[in-house]
Structures are given as structure tokens and as C-alpha cells.
Amino acid sequence: MPSTNDGAIRIDSVSHHYGSGGAEVTALGPVDLTVDPGSFLVLVGASGCGKSTLLRLLAGFEEPSQGSVQVAGARPTPGVTAGVVFQQPRLFPWRTVGGNVDMALRYAKVPRDKRIERREELLGRVGLEGTADRRIWEISGGQQQRVAIARALAAETPLFLLDEPFAALDALTRERLQEDVRQVSAESGRTTVFVTHSADEAAFLGSRIVVLTRRPGQVALDIPVDLPRTGVDPDELRRSPEYGQLRAEVGRAVKAAAA
């Protein structure tokens, strides 16, 4: 298990541009944000406001044009700082379910004699016990996304990042996966950053919700959430007036920030 101290995020005066000269696009910023270890931060905002850019900076896939991004006091390193889940599962179709998780465990240098146990534990966590030998094409889109989540958790990275991971799934599957990600994130103790444009999803998942303005994305609103994180029936949570109010507040804020 990662220590719960190692997932602190510090974003200082970060802006990010793409292209150069007349074709330069400022995608993001300036943004200042500090995130406590173990938080479930949801970034919500209209399409094109820079959410994926911010996530890529946190993963270390890109360096900010200005300012600094630090995770546990250091610059993010791709593959080391964060496990990432994208909108598409991006699995290796010629490998089995277990094979896809195994690759991530090998990459994370988990010793061979520990790998099977660890793989089964990860598959169990995402509700896929007993499926290691299945082929990727034999399982549903929702199950494929579960494999992608297990893979992202394989290396014990301080961050768990998800970029609109459920946008392509049907409503019912999306709700089940939201419930599981909420749980898995709490169990793992990792700092989670989840990007979405859905106010419903943000309200259900976040322990903190940051609403971004339209491009270049800046923090429009920073909402702490005190809905219970564990020991609560998800359907009950979704029916609660507190959730309803929060969802409405986030919905209004996203609309206002995009205007």
C-alpha cells in the first residue's frame, strides 16, 4: 500500500500553451491548486477548457509552459507518479484480461512470484474475479474499463487519474462503475483526480469539486464536499437531498463558468 502522505499535489501558477507564434493556443491557466493526500478531486468544466491538459501535466506526460506541478514534492514522472484511465480502455486485444494486468505488474517490477496473487487481488477489487483467462473481445465495454482500472492500480503510484472514463458507457454501467471507483479509490488511499463534464458524476464522486472556466481553464469555484465516503448505500446517496443540492450547485457553476 502506498503511504497516504505521498499523494500531495501542488500546482503553482501553472499555464499551458500549445503551438507557437500565431497558432499558439492557451489551453489552461493560470491555475493554483493544492490537494491533500487521499482526496478525491473532481475537475469539471465544459469541453475544451483544459481538463485533459491539467491531467496530463499531473501524469508528467507534458511539462507546463509556465509554473510548476509537484506531486509529493517532486516533478511528475510518466508511469511512476500516476496510474491513468482514459475514455477508451486502450487494452492489448491479443492478450487476456489477466495478461493485460500482468504487463502492468511487470512494468511496475512486481516480482514474478507475487504477480498472480496481486493480479487476482486487483481483478477482485474491480469486480472481475475469475476472469483472468477471458479474452478482451469476449468482455463488455464496461468490463474492459474495469480491466483498465485494475491496470492503472497495478503500480503503486501516488496518483490515480481518470479522464472521462465512463463517457462511452451506458447509463446503468456508468453508475455501477462510479460506485466502484468511489470505493476503490477510498480503499487504495491514493489521491484521485477525476475529470468529467457531468455535474451528476462530479457530485457523486468528489470529496472536492473544482469547476474550471472555459479555455484557458482557471479555477471558477472550489467546492468542498461532505457527503459520506464509506458505509453508505449508493442509491440512497443519489436520492439524498444533500446530493441533489450539490448536483444542482455544480450544474449551475459549470454553466456559469462556461458562459
- The beta-carbon contacts of 60-65 under 8 Å, at least 24 apart in sequence, are 62/16, 64/14, 64/15, 64/16, 64/29, 65/15, 65/16, 65/17
The nearest distance, CB 185 to Mg ion, in angstroms, is 20
Helix (H) or strand (E) holding 59: helix 51-59
- Of 24 and 32, the one with the shorter C-beta distance to ligand ADP is 24
Give min distance, CB of 52 to Mg ion, in A: 3
Instruction: Work out whether 53 is an interface residue with Mg ion (CB under 5 A).
Output: no
Query: Binding Mg ion by CB under 5 A: which of 9, 11, 37, 52?
Result: 52
Residue placing its CB nearer to Mg ion in the complex, 26 or 131: 26
**C-alpha triplet 142, 58, 173: angle, nearest 5°:** 15
Q: How far apart are CA 204 and CA 42, in angstroms?
A: 10
What does the alpha-carbon distance between residue 258 and residue 99 come to, in Å, rounded to a whole number?
42
For the bound state, the minimum distance from the C-beta of residue 56 to ligand ADP, rounded and expressed in Å, comes to: 7
Quick one: what does residue 142 bind among ligand ADP, Mg ion, none, with the CB cut-off 5 to 8 Å set by partner type?
A: none
- Give the one entry of Mg ion, ligand ADP, none that residue 25 binds, where binding means its C-beta sits below a cut-off of 5 to 8 angstroms depending on kind: ligand ADP
Nearer to Mg ion, 15 or 52 (CB): 52
Query: Rounded to the nearest whole angstrom, what is the least distance from the CB of residue 202 to ligand ADP in the complex?
Result: 13
Minimum CB separation of residue 70 from Mg ion in Å reads 23
Q: How many CB atoms lie under 10 A from the CB of residue 136?
A: 18
Q: Binding residues for ligand ADP, per CB under 6 A? A: 18-19, 25, 27, 45, 47-53, 215
CB 198 within 8 A of CB 47: no
| Nearer of residues 84 and 110 to Mg ion, judged by Cβ | 84
Stretch that binds Mg ion, among 44-52, 137-145, 176-184, 199-207 (CB under 5 A): 44-52
The rounded Cα 47 to chain-centroid distance in angstroms is 17
Helix (H, G, I), strand (E, B) or coil at 42: strand
Give the interface with Mg ion as residue ranges (CB under 5 A). 52
